[in-house]
Structures are given as C-alpha cells and as structure tokens.
Amino acid sequence: MEDFFSEEELFCDHTWPEDYFFTKRYSRRREDAISKLPDSLLSQILSHLPTTKEAVRTSVLSKRWKSLYLLIPSLVLNANEFPNHNSFVSFIDKFLAFSKEQNSILHKLKLSVKKNVNDPPCVTRWLDSVSSSKLNHLDVECLVNRKLLEAIPRSLYVCHTLVYLRLHRVSLGEFVDSVSLPCLKTLVLEHNVYANDVTLESFISSCPVLEDLSIARMVPDNIKFLRVCSKSLTSLHIDYLFGEDDDFDDKGFGRDGTGVFIDAPRLEYLKFEDDLSDSKVITNSGSLTNVNIVYVFGENDDTADFLHYNNEFDPMLLPQFCNLSRLKLKVPKSCLKMLPTLLERCPNLNSLVLVLDFYKSNGKARKIRASSVPRCLQSSLEHVEIKRFNGEAARMEVARYFVENSMVLKKLVLDIGCSTMEKGFYITEQGFSMFRDLLALPRPSSACQIILK
C-alpha cells in the first residue's frame, strides 16, 4: 500500500505515549493476536478512538498497521494539531483521495479549520468529495473572518444519508429548489451567511424528519425575517447576536421589519435568546413542555409573541401553554405586573426560573396583584428560582408573591451567585432585614423551603 503521508504530517507535535518505544520494540518481535484480525474489523476498532490523530499513531506498531488508519470510516481532525495550514490541507486531501481510490465508506467527518487571508479555499471541495458517499455525520467548523467564508457545495444539499449536520461559519447559497435531506434529524447552524430569507426557510422545511434544530445567528447574515416551519421538529434553540472578530459596525444595524416566526406543532423544547429581532411569533404551541426564553408576550389568539414589552399589550390574549412544565423567563421590571397573567396561561407549570433583568429599582416596589391565584400556583408549581436576587424592594416583592400564593411550592431559591455579585448585585443590610421578613411570612405550602444561595 502506497505511503501517502510523511512523519511530519502524521505526528506534527511529536507527542508520544509513554509506552510508545516499548510497544514498537515489542511489536517487531512478536505479532499480537489483534493484528491477525481482518482489516474491516481493525478499521472499525480504530474508528472508536477519540480523534483521527490517535488512530494514525497506530501506524508505527508494525507493517501490518502502517496504513490501516486510512480505512477507518471516520475522520476527526483539528487544524491546531498540525504545524501549519498547508500540512493540514495536504493530509485531508490525501486521506480523501485514498478513500475514493479504495472505494472506502466515510460515515463521519468532523473538521475544525483555521484560515488566514492568503490561504486558498479547501472546505468546499472537501464537502463535495464526501457528500456523494454514505456520510451520516458531518461537523464543519471554520474559524475564519466572514470575508473568508467558503460556500457549501450543491452536492451537500442532496446527501440522502446525512443524519447529523453542523455548519459553523460557512456560506449557504441559493440551491433551495434542489434541497433533499430525507434522513437529517439534527441540524446545527452557527454564525453562517445565507443568500436570503428563503434560502434558510427552504433548507429547514426540506428536512422532513428533522427533530433537533439549533440556529446561532450573527449580524449581518442576510436574514431579515427568520421562518422556522417544520412538522417534525421537537427541539429548537435560537440565538441572535452581533458577530465577533469581524469588521462590522453594529451602528448600522436596523431592527425595523426583522423578526422570527415559528410554526412547529410537535415542538416540545424551546430555548430562545434574541434581543435583536423586532418581533417574535410562535404558533401551534400546544406541545411545548420546556421553554427557556426572553420575554413572552402576545398579540392574537393563536400565537405567542416574544416581545420586549408593549404598553398596549393585553396579556389575556396569550394562548394556553397546557403542556408546559418548565419555563425559564427573563423579565424586565416593567413586565412584573403581567407575571400572574402569564402564569395563568401555563396551568401545569412545575418549574420556573426567573431572571430579573434590571438593576436597582427606585422607590417603593409596586405590589404584584391579580384577581385570582393562577392555577399552576394552586396545583402544580413546586420549584421557583429567582436569579439576580439582592433583596431590594422589587425583587423581594416577586419572592413575596410566590411565598404568599403558592399552595404546593416545595422550594424557592433566591440566587445571589458570585457572577451576580460581580455585576454589582449584593444584599444590603436592609435587604437582609427584608429577607427575614420574607421568612416570617405565613406559607400556604407547609413543605416550602426558602433557600438563599
């Protein structure tokens, strides 16, 4: 079998296991039992090593092992493991060329690529090379400036065997009419650039069995209005932020007309972190059981609109989240008065985490009032945690509301963790006095514990 790689390419950092030299001398004297196994079985064994680099190191054991690593059905490489970009590119080019020559099947490809301005493109051709095989798992991370993003080849959009796909900092073009990913169940899109809104919408909707979707957006990504429409999706994470380490002036960013629309009737878990879009709407939300979002408010009778807040907003128009059992919510001070109404729309809520998104409030806190106690406080809400708690009046009023109204509450956690204190949140002497008053309040739930952590 031809020698495809030099020692520099195989062992670029020259870090050897402690027993390497003993193993090499021993292997010259005696062929071990494992080496007698067929190539197909040995390549499967090597594929279970954490990285391709470790599999390559077995080539020094004996002539029998010299090229076995070339037959493994997975390739896991990080550019940091190589002395320079050229040796990294050369290794992968030769590995893929050998795989094609031997008609070997590559099931998994995981690459972490670093490129500078003068480095030639390479990712597009690698993806084009592997897309025609029976690839199941593809994870490509490109740590590059957005000016150097490489395009996804057309062939990847029709990889019928792909089950897992992660794309980090690449460019997705207009191949929406030919997208066909019938087996894709997990899709992770991070800091990519898209041709337009339709490109991303069609990409998602062309995955008929997609279950887990994560989208981390960066500004700008050419998406004005993000639409997630999927009949199979059960888990969704959306994050939207300004890009880092790029030549972009966020002063030119405009919110007007931007938004998110989610239509996923089977969705059970939603994590939503987006302070940049102008409007956020979810429809067909009846299956949700676990939500981690920023500000939940609505506009009509069949959608929940995730807005910062609106003085004209009528919280009674929120839909019922009947299956929701866990909720993490970031709340500004202006929306505390709406908390009872929101809880009323979650009748079976069991666990609630509140992140109080404000610093110190001025003056006396307004009491949280409601015409009736929300159903979840009467029958299902057992765990409440209040983040960024420092004992000041508005935060204490939130804690007081749960202590006085919760019938089945088992644990109320007031979190003043170190990270909070570093940002200027600390309990004053007055705060400790108010905390003692809180402990002295009568509790409808005899099992309720109030914990300061």
pLDDT at residue 16 above 70?
Answer: no
Segment 438-448 mean pLDDT: 84
What lies within 8 Å, CB to CB, of 443 at 6+ separation is 403, 404, 406, 409
Segment 246-253 mean pLDDT: 58
Contact 49, 82 (CB under 8 A): no
Q: Summarize pLDDT for 136-178 with one digit per residue, the tens.
A: 999 999 998 888 899 999 999 999 999 999 999 999 987 656 7
Task: Give the pLDDT band (50/70/90) at residue 55.
Answer: low
User: Of 163-177, 250-264, 276-290, 411-425, which gets the smallest average pLDDT?
Assistant: 411-425
Q: How far apart are CA 265 and CA 231, in angstroms?
A: 6
Tokens encoding 144? 């590059």
Segment 349-370 mean pLDDT: 76
Sorted by where each begins, the domain ranges of the chain are: 35-72, 325-452
Task: Give the pLDDT band (50/70/90) at residue 223.
Answer: very high
Would you state the pLDDT for residue 300?
A: 33
pLDDT at residue 131 above 60?
Answer: yes
Would you state the pLDDT for residue 392?
A: 77
Contact 98, 4 (CB under 8 A): yes
DSSP at 98: H
β partners of residue 237: 214, 271
Would you state the pLDDT for residue 100?
A: 80
Nearest residue to 262 via CA among 218, 302, 221, 295: 302
What lies within 8 Å, CB to CB, of 126 at 6+ separation is 92, 96, 109, 111
DSSP at 151: B
Would you state the pLDDT for residue 61?
A: 57
Q: Summarize pLDDT for 185-212 with one digit per residue, the tens.
A: 999 999 999 999 999 999 999 999 999 9
Q: Summarize pLDDT for 373-407 with one digit per residue, the tens.
A: 999 999 999 999 998 887 778 888 898 899 999 99
User: Of 43-52, 258-267, 388-397, which gets the smallest average pLDDT?
Assistant: 43-52
For the stretch 362-367, contacts whose Cβ atoms lie closer than 8 Å and that sit 24 or more positions apart, written own/partner, are: 363/393, 364/393, 365/393, 365/394, 365/396, 365/397, 366/336, 366/337, 366/394, 366/397, 367/397
Q: How far apart are CA 309 and CA 444, in angstroms?
A: 32
Task: Give the pLDDT band (50/70/90) at residue 302.
Answer: very low
What H or E segment, with its residue span, contains residue 92? helix 85-101
Task: Give the pLDDT band (50/70/90) at residue 278.
Answer: confident
Alpha carbon of 145 to those of 19, 120, 149, 165, 167: distances in Å? 41, 14, 7, 21, 15
Q: How far apart are CA 248 and CA 237, in angstroms?
A: 25
Q: How far apart are CA 82 and CA 85, in angstroms?
A: 7
83 against 132, higher pLDDT: 83
What lies within 8 Å, CB to CB, of 30 at 6+ separation is none
Would you state the pLDDT for residue 54?
A: 64
Q: Summarize pLDDT for 67-100 with one digit per residue, the tens.
A: 656 666 778 889 988 889 999 999 889 888 877 8
Nearest residue to 412 via CA among 445, 377, 451, 354: 451
Instruction: Share the mean pLDDT of the chain.
Output: 77
Helix locations, 115-207, DSSP H: 123-131, 197-205
Q: Summarize pLDDT for 107-126 with one digit per residue, the tens.
A: 889 999 998 888 889 999 99
Q: How far apart are CA 439 and CA 453, in angstroms?
A: 15
Would you state the pLDDT for residue 36?
A: 66
Task: Give the pLDDT band (50/70/90) at residue 443.
Answer: confident
Q: How far apart are CA 389 and CA 140, in angstroms?
A: 40
Would you state the pLDDT for residue 301?
A: 32
